[in-house]
Structures are given as structure tokens and as C-alpha cells.
Amino acid sequence: MSLLSFRGGVHPPHYKEATERCKVEKAKEPTRVVIPLQQHIGAPCEAVVKVGDKVKVGQKIGEAKAFVCAPVHSSVSGEVKQITKMLAPTGEAQCVVIESDGLNEVHESVKPKGDLANLSAKEIIEIVKEAGIVGMGGATFPTHVKLSVPPDKNVDTIILNGAECEPYLTADHRLMLENPESIVFGLRAMMKGTNVSKAYIGIENNKPDAIESMKNAAKEYNEIEVVGLQTKYPQGAEKQLIYACTKREVPSGGLPMEAGVIVNNVATASAIGNAIKTGMPLIERICTITGKGIKEPKNLLIKVGTSIKEIIEQCGGYNGTPGKLILGGPMMGHAQYTDEICSTKGTSGILVFTPEEARLPEPKACIRCGKCVEICPAFLQPIYVSAYSLNNMYDTAEKYRALDCIECGSCSFICPSKRPLLQSIRVAKREIIAKKRKSK
């Protein structure tokens, strides 16, 4: 099997040993869930329940009022206690607080959607939208938007991302081992929904068992090809994955669609499969809870809205004093100030570092080693973009194509002087975009 890849990238240690062999367990039923009305990129939802309402599992509690928006559903049955602004993983957000009655009564709207053969493309996309499905790799972009191909665009390929190139995380890996059929079913639904006849499932070759398992599940379908990818970060980044599988480059500043490709995470495909087969919207997901700061690392199936603190308690609690709490992986995940927040559709990992691991390295002067230039998968020169950003020369930073940065963090990772490269590039990006908005 030849290994596909892209140019650039780094090789962080995997740290996956702690959980890669842990079967997915169901997390304890939460007694109370806090469900943010915005768990996706785009406009927030509007609450369609009131305080005091009884809700059931799978019942819609937030309605999407815009196109780039995904509805949210209750993950438990019980009573709405509060609708208020609270701290969520992505910042302050309007949240619906539901106290569970422990019965897990399923809402009437949750019904199997019938045979894939009898569903039209439009119906499939509608199901995806109504199920509130978003990109589950962490980016949480509403999936129905990705699948709605404008008539002037020609999409011929779907790629499922099973690379899981972030260190520590094993949620997708376990899913591919334990429920490959659901992924393939979801993929076929997407192919039908977008009228695409070719699909790849890309998996890094450090997971040979997952490659095997997916090959097996897809063997009846000639149009689906399972491909091994070189183990390298950021193999799962959208543009890099497209290049690895198809050798096509997404135009700078453009969407994957412009290269004729749609990329989705394997977990997203599985959620789609689930939504069609059972009718259950996206209310739970697999999450890897790991790191030296966790007593018993696990892969858990957790309901959206469960408190992170409770989840960590189920994993034996903290191993000593925690130094850093990260939602997502160590390369692109978000560090949190507190564990008193809820999990969301995008919580692929909960990673806890010891204070030792969390200590920030002291940045030194750049020694111009050129390593950041050598490894940037977007082919930027992080050394210069960052330097111009630090000097407030955002126009020059833009000329050095700051906006093409995919924020993978490889440059900061590799820099021997421990310079905060990505951090400063983000600042430049923000400034440039703000200026563009103003001048519009």
C-alpha cells in the first residue's frame, strides 16, 4: 500500500497508548445537562423551549434561523430549569439547562427515516440539517452546509477524515474499530445526498487495525476506497487531506468545494448514519479523556451538555493537581480556565496536563534556523509573518499571506527558540480580517 501525504508537517509523539485499546464505554447518565445554543460555527440557535417545559430525548430545543446554523436537541428527558448565558467551551453562550428525570423518554419525532434507496438527495440533506449534525473533528461547521453544493460547483469526491492526526486522541480510532458499518452507511448517504460517485476514507498508517476494519466494512462498495496515509501532523487538515488523496490543491482562500471535494470526519459520517437509521439527532459523541493528569484515561460515549468535571470524575478524577485542561487535541484544542463547563458536539477529547507539562516555555530570540519555513504545510514563512505581526505591520503580514495559515500549530511546535509563532499569526489574521470588514 503506497502511503499518501502532503509536503511539510511535523512528527509530534503520539501519546495514544493510554486509550487506543480502551473500548468505548457509555458515560454515566448526567443528572443535569447544560446545552449551549451555539455549538457550531455560524449563527446561534433560538430557544424553542421555555423554563418549566418538559422535554424528551432528541427533542429540538434550539431552532436554526440561519442557513449556516445547526439546531440543537435535548440529550435527556426532564425539565428545562434555566435558559441563560453561561460559560461554554467556545466562550459565553446562551445555554439551556435541563434537569434529567432519569427516564430517558424518547421524543415522538425520533423515527427511522427509511431505506437509503428511497430517500432523495434533498431529503438526506434535510435529515442531516434537522439532526443538528456538525463537523465532529472539532471544527463544528454545520454539515448540511457542506453538503449543499451550489449548482455552479462541480463536486465529484467525498473524503472521510479518519486520520486522527492529533496526538492523544483515539475517539475516531475506536469508532472505526467498533462501528465501521455506521460510518460507511453515513458516507453512502452523503454520496447520495451530493450525487458523488467517488469516496476515500483516509486513515493514518499508525492505525492498521482501523484501516483493516474500514476496508472490511466498505468491501462491497467499489466506489469507496480506504487509503493509508503517512503518519504526520496535520494529515487530517482539510486541504492537506484533499491533496494527499487526490493531489488537488484547494485554491488559496477557497473552499474544498472548489477543488471538487467535500471532507467530513468519520464521526460525522457515523452521526449521519445514525440519524437516518434511528432518527436520533446528534446528542452524544465519543470523546477521549486522557493525559497524565487523568487517573484512568478512557474513551467515553458522552451526552452533549454533560459537565466536564463529572466526566473527569468518572475517569478516576485528576491525577494530582491539574495544570492545564484542553478540549480537543494538544495541537489545536482549546485550553479552558475551568472544568465547570459542559461538553458539546465538538468535544473530541478532554486532555489534562500536569503542572509540569503545562508550564509554558520561555521564548528566546529567533535563530533563523528556517525550520518553521521548512515544515509549514501551507508553505508560509511563519518566521516573517510572525515578526511582522509582532511589529504591528499587519499589511506586510498580509502580503506574506497570513490569511493562508491553517492554524495547525506546527510552526510553534517545531521552533527551537519556542517562539509563539501561531499565536502572533492569529493576531495578524484577526487584525487583517477586521480591517477588511471595515473597508467593506
Partner 1 sequence: MENRLIASSSPHIRADESVNKIMRDVVIALLPATLAGVYFFRMGAVKVILAAVIAAVLTEAAIQKICKKPVTINDWSAVVTGLLLAFNVPASAPWWIPVIGSIFAIAIVKQVFGGLGHNFMNPALAARAMLLASWPVQMTAWVKPGVDAVSTATTLGMLKEGTGEVLPSLGDLIIGNVGGCIGETSALLLIIGGIYLVYRGVITPRIPVIYIGTVAVLMLIFGGFDITYMLTHVFAGGLMIGAIYMATDYASSPVTPKGQIIFALGCGILTAVIRKFGGYPEGVSYSILVMNVVAPLIDKYTSPRVFGEVK
Contact positions vs partner 1 (CB under 8 A): 10, 12-13, 167, 239, 243, 249-254, 321-326, 330-340, 351, 353, 355, 358-361, 364-371, 373-374, 377-381, 383, 400-401, 404, 407, 409-410, 412-418, 420, 422-423, 426
Which residues, 6 or more positions from 320, have their beta carbon under 8 angstroms from its beta carbon?
Answer: 293, 354
Q: Which DSSP symbol is given to 83?
A: E
How many of the other CB atoms lie within 10 Å of CB of 141?
A: 18
The CA-based dihedral angle spanning residues 97, 102, 104, 107, taken in that order and rounded to the nearest 10 degrees: -50
d(CA 101, CA 90) in angstroms, rounded, equals 28
User: Residue 330's binding partner, choosing from ligand SF4, partner 1, none, with beta-carbon cut-off 5 to 8 A by kind?
Assistant: partner 1
Given the complex with ligand SF4, which of 13 and 150 has the nearer CB atom?
Answer: 13
Work out whether 163 is an interface residue with ligand SF4 (CB under 6 A).
no
**Binding status of residue 236 toward ligand SF4 by CB under 6 A:** no
Query: In angstroms, rounded to a whole number, what is the distance separating the alpha carbons of residues 360 and 363?
Result: 9
Q: Which residue in 122, 128, 134 sits closest to 42, CA to CA?
A: 134
What burial letters (b/e) apply to 194-222, b meaning 16+ CB within 10 Å? bebebbbbbbbbbbeebbebbbebbeeee
Q: How far apart are CA 337 and CA 323, in angstroms?
A: 10
Strand, coil or helix: 196: coil
Among the residue ranges 34-42, 54-62, 177-185, 362-370, the one whose residues contact ligand SF4 (CB under 6 A): 362-370
CA angle 57, 62, 67 (to 5 degrees): 125
Residue closer to partner 1, measured from CB, 96 or 427: 427
Return the closest-CA partner of residue 133 out of 73, 90, 56.
73
Residue 417 CB, shortest distance to partner 1, in Å, is: 6
Toward partner 1, which CB reaches closer, 29 or 249? 249
The option from partner 1, ligand SF4, none interacting with 10 (CB < 5 to 8 A, set by class) reads: partner 1
Does position 250 interact with ligand SF4 (CB under 6 A)? The reply is no
Q: Please, are residues 101 and 43 in contact by the beta-carbon 8 Å criterion?
A: no
| Distance of closest approach, residue 341 Cβ to partner 1, in angstroms | 11
User: Which does residue 355 touch among ligand SF4, partner 1, none (CB within 5 to 8 A, set by kind)?
Assistant: partner 1
Bridge partners of 351? 290, 326
CB atoms within 10 A of CB 235: 25
Task: Residue 156: name its binding partner from ligand SF4, partner 1, none (Cβ under 5 to 8 Å by kind).
Answer: none
Strand partners, 204: 229
Q: Among residue numbers 388 through 407, which ones bind ligand SF4 (CB under 6 A)?
A: 405-407
- The answer to the question of residue 366 lying near ligand SF4 (CB under 6 A) is yes
* Residue 419 binds: one of ligand SF4, partner 1, none (C-beta under 5 to 8 A by kind): ligand SF4
Phi, psi of 262 (to 5 degrees): -120, 130
Return the number of the residue (102 or 361) whose C-beta is nearest partner 1: 361
C-beta contacts of 89-93 below 8 A and 24+ residues apart: 89/327, 89/334, 89/336, 89/341, 89/342, 89/343, 89/344, 89/346, 89/347, 90/36, 90/38, 90/39, 90/334, 90/344, 93/36, 93/37, 93/38, 93/44
335 binds ligand SF4 (CB under 6 A): no
x/- contact string, 367-386, with ligand SF4 (CB under 6 A)? xxxxxx---xxx-x-xx---
In angstroms, give the least distance from the CB of 369 to ligand SF4: 4
Nearest distance, CB of residue 292 and partner 1, angstroms: 12
Query: Do the Cβ atoms of 226 and 205 come closer than 8 Å?
Result: no
365 binds, among ligand SF4, partner 1, none (CB under 5 to 8 A by kind): partner 1
- In the complex, the smallest distance separating the C-beta of residue 236 from ligand SF4, rounded to whole angstroms, is 13
- Smallest separation (angstroms) from ligand SF4 to the CB of 378: 4
51 touching ligand SF4, by CB under 6 A = no
Q: Does 415 bind ligand SF4 (CB under 6 A)?
A: yes
Query: Which of partner 1, ligand SF4, none sits in contact with 425, Cβ below 5 to 8 A by type?
Result: ligand SF4
Q: Does position 410 bind ligand SF4 by CB under 6 A?
A: yes
| 48: its cell numbers | 424553542
Interaction site with ligand SF4 (CB under 6 A): 366-372, 376-378, 380, 382-383, 405-411, 414-417, 419, 421-422, 425
